[in-house]
Chains A and B, each alone.
Chain A
Amino acid sequence: MQIGEIAKNNFSVRQAKVLARQAKFANKGVYAEADKFFTDNEMKKNLLSLMPKSVQTVDKLASSIGEIQNIIITAIGTGLIAPIFIKYNPLSKTDNDTKTYTALRQPVSAAIAVVTQATIVDRFNKFISNMTNSGKFTDKRYDKSGFQDEKYIAEQLKKQYPNEGKDAIAARVKELRKTQLQNLMNSARRHNTIQYVSDGKVVSLNPEDFKVVLDSTAKDMMKHVEANLKRYKEIKPAMKIDRAVYLRNNGNEVKLTLEKLHEEITQLKTEKEVAKLLKSKVQQLESSNTHKELIGIFNDIKGRPSKELVLDKIKHNIEKVGNFANCKTDEEVVKKIQDMLDVKINKFEAEKIQIQKLQSSINGKINIRKLERIVKDTSPDFVYNVVQKHIDRVSKSINGFKQKTGLLISLAILPVSCAILNYVYPKIMDALFPNLSKTKKSKEKDKFVKSSVETQTQAETVKDKNTQEVSK
Chain B
Amino acid sequence: MSGISRITTNYLTQGLDRLSRTKSSEIISKKYCANDMKFIAGLGIASIVLKDGLGCYLYVKQSLNNKKIPSDKRKFVAALDMTNGGLMILMQILMFKTISNPKIQDKFFNRLFQKYFDRTARKGYQALMKDKFNIQKLTGKDFNITFEAFRKKCSGTLGVLTSLVAATIIAKRVIVPFIATPLADYAKKYLSKDEKTPDDCHDSKNETDNKAVNFSAKNGETNLLKAAKRG
What is the interface of chain A, defined by CB distance below 8 A to chain B?
40, 43-44, 46-48, 50-52, 54-55, 58-59, 61-62, 65, 70, 73-74, 77-78, 81-83, 85-86, 89, 91-99, 101-102, 105-106, 127-128, 131, 136-139, 141-142, 216, 224, 299-300, 302-306, 308-309, 312-313, 393, 396-397, 399-401, 403-407, 410-411, 414-415, 418-419, 421-423, 425-427, 430, 437-441, 444-445, 447-449, 452-453, 455-456
Contacts and interface: CB of A to CB of B under 8 A. Distances in A.
Contacts of B121: 303
A86 B59 contact: no
Nearest to A142: B20
A439 B157 contact: no
Taking each of B33, B127, B132, B225, which has the highest tally of chain A beta carbons within 10 Å of its own beta carbon? B33
B20 A47 contact: no
Interface string B198-231: 0011010101010011010100111011001100
A77 B84 CA distance: 14
Contacts of B195: none
B62 A85 contact: no
Interface in B33-71: 33, 35, 43-44, 47, 50-51, 54-55, 58-59, 62-63, 66, 68-71
B28 interface: yes
Given A73-B169, A397-B33, 15 more contacts: A47-B150, A82-B174, A82-B176, A93-B182, A95-B203, A95-B209, A96-B209, A137-B16, A306-B131, A312-B127, A401-B20, A421-B62, A425-B69, A439-B73, A448-B224
A445 B224 contact: yes
A441 B17 CA distance: 57
Given A52-B116, A138-B20, A453-B225, A102 B28 contact: no
B72 A86 contact: no
B21 interface: yes
Contacts of A44: 146, 149-150
B128 A50 contact: yes
Contact of A426 (B47, B66, B182): B66
Contacts of B169: 73-74, 77, 81
28 contacts: A43-B129, A55-B154, A59-B157, A65-B164, A70-B168, A73-B168, A73-B169, A74-B169, A81-B169, A83-B177, A85-B173, A92-B181, A94-B184, A94-B203, A224-B145, A300-B120, A396-B33, A396-B35, A401-B19, A407-B47, A418-B59, A421-B62, A439-B71, A439-B201, A445-B213, A448-B212, A449-B224, A453-B228
A137 B209 contact: no
B62 A419 contact: yes
Interface string B152-165: 01101110110010
B207 A95 contact: yes
Contacts of B104: none
Contacts of A224: 145
A434 to B, nearest CB: 11
Taking each of B80, B177, B220, B225, which has the highest tally of chain A beta carbons within 10 Å of its own beta carbon? B177
A98 B161 CA distance: 35
Given A85-B174, A86-B80, A452-B222, A58 B184 contact: no
A414 B173 contact: no
B72 A439 contact: yes
Contacts of A59: 153-154, 157
Given A77-B169, A102-B80, A449-B228, A54 B200 contact: no
B7 interface: no
Taking each of B147, B160, B178, which has the highest tally of chain A beta carbons within 10 Å of its own beta carbon? B178
Nearest to A224: B145
Interface string B106-123: 000000110010001101
A397 B129 contact: no
Contacts of B224: 445, 448-449, 452
Nearest to A303: B120
Contacts of A401: 19-20, 25, 28-29
Contacts of B221: 456
A62 B161 contact: yes
Contacts of A40: 146
Contacts of B168: 70, 73-74, 77
A267 B106 CA distance: 41
A405 B154 contact: no
Contacts of A447: 212
Nearest to B67: A426
B181 A303 contact: no
A275 B201 CA distance: 71
B103 interface: no
B176 to A, nearest CB: 8
B66 A422 contact: yes
A426 B50 CA distance: 27
